[in-house]
């Protein structure tokens, strides 16, 4: 897998552009990677609801859970489906809107200097994440390290690390020992 540093795109990823992004502030590049998890509706996997959510195409009328969040404008750089499929929403040189109100390395505005990776899953799902997801995550992290050597191996964080008390993901069923960062 290779990330083109000029375009910020991974050729092996399905491209699903999100409007929920903007330019990083001058001089800011990715310095950390943030791991998230999401399923829409919670606990249901395999549909296209996440993709449509990150593209502002999710209707609040489709499911009762969506009514409270369909209006939100959020994104992530990448999503790894339970099948291991990789979807890219935002080029890595741009700012995705994934971290929200958070602090990392003692700094606010984490979206300014991070790459967000969502895993299709739920922080409370005892089944955890799939082998294919861990495999794809490790391939993606390797490509990110190659393209951005300024991201040290220890700059991999959970959403819960940067927004404690507000966000629990990826949760206790995410196996950090299976991640090669």
118 is catalytic: yes
The full length of the chain comes to 181
Show the tokens assigned to 58: 């999710």
Whether pLDDT at 181 is above 80: no
**What average pLDDT does the segment 80-88 reach?**
98
In angstroms, rounded to a whole number, what is the distance separating the alpha carbons of residues 62 and 47? 13
Show the tokens assigned to 47: 């549909």
Look at residue 54 in the predicted model and tell me its pLDDT: 98
Look at residue 28 in the predicted model and tell me its pLDDT: 83
**What average pLDDT does the segment 121-144 reach?**
96
Look at residue 27 in the predicted model and tell me its pLDDT: 79
The catalytically annotated residue of 31, 51, 118, 120 is 118
Look at residue 122 in the predicted model and tell me its pLDDT: 96
Look at residue 169 in the predicted model and tell me its pLDDT: 96
Tell me which long-range contacts 55-59 makes (C-beta under 8 A, separation of at least 24). 55/16, 55/17, 55/18, 55/19, 55/89, 56/18, 56/19, 56/20
Look at residue 159 in the predicted model and tell me its pLDDT: 98
In angstroms, rounded to a whole number, what is the distance separating the alpha carbons of residues 114 and 132? 24
Q: Identify the helix (H) or strand (E) that includes residue 162.
A: helix 159-162
Look at residue 59 in the predicted model and tell me its pLDDT: 95
Look at residue 139 in the predicted model and tell me its pLDDT: 98
In angstroms, rounded to a whole number, what is the distance separating the alpha carbons of residues 67 and 136? 32
Which residues touch 162 (CB under 8 Å, ≥6 apart)? 34, 99, 102, 103, 104, 110
Look at residue 56 in the predicted model and tell me its pLDDT: 98
In angstroms, rounded to a whole number, what is the distance separating the alpha carbons of residues 105 and 120? 26
What is the residue-averaged pLDDT of the chain?
96
What class does CATH assign to 3-178? alpha beta
> 20: phi > 0 → left, psi -120 to 50 → alpha, else beta; which?
beta
Look at residue 121 in the predicted model and tell me its pLDDT: 97
pLDDT (tens digit per residue) in 20-41: 999 998 778 999 999 999 999 9
In angstroms, rounded to a whole number, what is the distance separating the alpha carbons of residues 21 and 5? 17
Please name which of 67, 86, 66, 68 lies closest in space to residue 76, comparing C-alpha atoms. Answer: 86
Look at residue 137 in the predicted model and tell me its pLDDT: 98
Could you give the percent of the chain with pLDDT greater than 70?
Answer: 99
Q: Identify the helix (H) or strand (E) that includes residue 131.
A: helix 131-147
């Amino acid at each position: 897998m290779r990330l083109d540093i000029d375009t910020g795109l991974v050729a092996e990823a399905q491209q699903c552009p999100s409007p929920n992004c903007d330019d990083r502030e001058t001089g800011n590049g990715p310095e950390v990677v943030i791991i998230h998890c999401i399923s829409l509706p919670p606990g249901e996997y395999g549909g296209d609801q996440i993709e449509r959510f990150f593209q502002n195409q999710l209707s609040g009328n489709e499911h009762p859970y969506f009514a409270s969040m369909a209006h939100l404008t959020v994104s992530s750089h990448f999503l790894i489906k339970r099948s291991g499929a990789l979807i890219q929403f935002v080029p890595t040189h741009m700012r995705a809107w994934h971290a929200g109100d958070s602090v990392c390395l003692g700094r606010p505005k984490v979206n300014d200097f991070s790459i967000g990776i969502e895993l299709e899953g739920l922080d409370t799902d005892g089944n955890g994440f799939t082998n294919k997801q861990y495999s794809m995550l490790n391939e993606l992290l390797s490509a990110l390290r190659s393209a951005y050597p300024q991201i040290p191996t220890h700059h991999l964080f959970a959403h819960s690390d940067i927004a404690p008390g507000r966000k629990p993901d990826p949760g206790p069923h995410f196996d950090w020992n299976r991640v090669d960062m």
